[in-house]
């Protein structure tokens, strides 16, 4: 097992009931966030919404309790998929298993991608560049509730490395250091999740979200030590961003609550900081709501 090739994160699956949240509202929300409808499944009500390397599989399912991020998608070798006991879902054209807290884990095999099997199940509907893009490049993490030891074991079987444990979170990082999972120890319900997205210019992304009428949250911040960010300082303050670190090593962040139902979008630009910090998590999900540790 130690020398096997681990899967690469590829996409987020989001499931909703179109009788509860209309297709029009979902589409409008995604467009405002900079996504474009690119591909539709030929047999099932699944559409692919894309912005650069940020990919959302939007899945319709009647009777689902509430709209939410329902799964994570990976590209992996067949041997590893089989070692996890994932079964092939002919309707989706993917292999499927799940973590211990109900999040679906979906796989395309390397062989299927190489053989272009994907194109047999999906049809491209749009390839035209859109002017609503916000500059987000790729999804780099997910914040989940419902921490358990078994859940930790599951993601480590997927090749994630355990990187740190704090009072509030356990954090894991993918084998290629590109995608992190933060498991909230304080909340056991797993309805609302947070997507983390990378952007090269957080100030430009913030401005474009405003232009798209998807306003980031107003953050009540004090900037007592802002001078350590040097030439970035005035922009951090002006764009009302949360900043951690200093000019030489930083993560500068902003957030849109419920950019789609039950999903926050935390977007960031960084320098020498792979994953989001505990300090940031505590601010966005504690301090700004005056939430105390349990």
Chain centroid to CA 280: how far?
16
Percent of the chain whose predicted confidence (pLDDT) is above 90: 63
Q: Decide the pairing of beta strands 161-165 and 104-109.
A: unpaired
- Name the strands in the sheet holding 161-165, side by side, starting at the edge strand that comes first in the sequence: 161-165, 169-173, 180-184, 136-145, 193-199, 263-271, 249-260, 242-246
Tokens at 150, concatenated: 């078994």
CATH number of the domain encompassing residue 87: 3.10.180.10
Within this chain, do residues 185 and 223 fall inside the same structural domain, yes or no? Answer: yes
Within this chain, do residues 89 and 153 fall inside the same structural domain, yes or no? Answer: no
Number of domains observed in the structure of the chain: 2
Contact 214, 33 (CB under 8 A): yes
State which residues form the domain around 169: 138-289
**1 occurs within a structural domain:** no
Within this chain, do residues 201 and 87 fall inside the same structural domain, yes or no? Answer: no
Within this chain, do residues 114 and 170 fall inside the same structural domain, yes or no? Answer: no
Lowest mean pLDDT across 170-174, 192-196, 226-230, 289-293:
289-293
* Mean pLDDT value across residues 225-248: 96
| Separation between Cα atoms, residue 272 and residue 249, nearest integer Å | 5
Tokens at 290, concatenated: 């005056």
How does pLDDT run across 82-119, given as a tens digit for each residue?
A: 888 899 988 888 899 998 888 999 998 877 665 566 67
Enter the pTM of the model: 0.91
């Amino acid at each position: 097992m130690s020398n096997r090739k681990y899967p690469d994160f590829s996409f987020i699956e989001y499931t909703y009931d179109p009788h509860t949240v209309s297709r029009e509202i979902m589409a409008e929300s995604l467009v405002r966030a900079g996504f474009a409808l690119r591909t539709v499944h030929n047999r099932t009500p699944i559409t692919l919404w894309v912005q650069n390397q940020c990919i959302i599989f939007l899945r319709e399912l009647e009777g689902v309790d509430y709209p939410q991020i329902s799964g994570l998608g990976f590209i992996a070798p067949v041997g590893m998929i089989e070692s996890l006991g994932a079964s092939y879902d002919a309707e989706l054209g993917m292999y499927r298993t799940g973590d211990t807290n109900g999040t679906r884990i979906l796989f395309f095999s390397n062989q299927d991608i190489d053989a272009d099997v994907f194109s047999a199940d999906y049809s491209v509907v749009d390839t035209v560049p859109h002017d609503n893009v916000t500059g987000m490049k790729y999804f780099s993490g997910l914040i989940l509730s419902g921490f358990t030891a078994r859940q930790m074991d599951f993601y480590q079987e997927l090749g994630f490395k355990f990187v740190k444990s704090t009072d509030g979170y356990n954090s894991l990082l993918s084998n290629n250091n590109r995608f992190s999972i933060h498991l909230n120890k304080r909340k056991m319900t797993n309805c609302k999740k947070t997507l983390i997205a990378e952007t090269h210019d957080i100030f430009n992304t913030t401005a474009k979200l405003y232009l798209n009428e998807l306003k980031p949250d107003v953050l009540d911040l004090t900037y007592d030590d802002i001078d350590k960010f040097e030439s970035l300082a005035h922009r951090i303050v002006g764009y009302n961003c949360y900043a951690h670190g200093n000019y030489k090593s930083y993560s500068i962040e902003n957030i849109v609550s419920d950019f789609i139902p039950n999903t926050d979008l935390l977007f960031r630009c960084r320098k020498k900081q792979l994953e989001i910090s505990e300090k940031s998590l505590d601010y966005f999900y504690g301090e700004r709501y005056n939430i105390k540790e349990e």
